Amino acid sequence: MTLQLIDISVRDKQAHPRLAGRITGHVRAVLSETLGATEQTHELAIPVWADISADASDADIDMAMMLKAADIIARLKSNLEKS
């Protein structure tokens, strides 16, 4: 079985209601799973958060959120490979 990340983007983001400097939201990740001759596409909405400095740009915020989601996906892949 192989699992590949084929697309990732920020779906939504907003300031945390109580914690200053924290952004919460969802990252859309599209994964391609190949099992034998069968290929299947999975679209996930991954909830993420990031602590951001006051001078961070929108691009910096998006990158921080996508990196968090990519880390979650990497841990998922690692756990699946151990099975």
pLDDT truncated to tens, each residue of the chain (83 aa)? Answer: 788 999 999 999 999 999 999 999 999 999 999 988 999 999 999 999 999 998 999 999 999 999 999 999 999 888 888 76
In angstroms, the CA 54 to CA 51 distance is 10
Taking the whole predicted model, whether its pTM rises above 0.85 is answered as yes
Q: How far apart are CA 31 and CA 38, in angstroms?
A: 14
Percent helix, strand and coil across the chain, each to the nearest 5: 30, 50, 20
Find the Cα–Cα–Cα–Cα dihedral 28, 46, 48, 79, rounded to 10°. Answer: -120
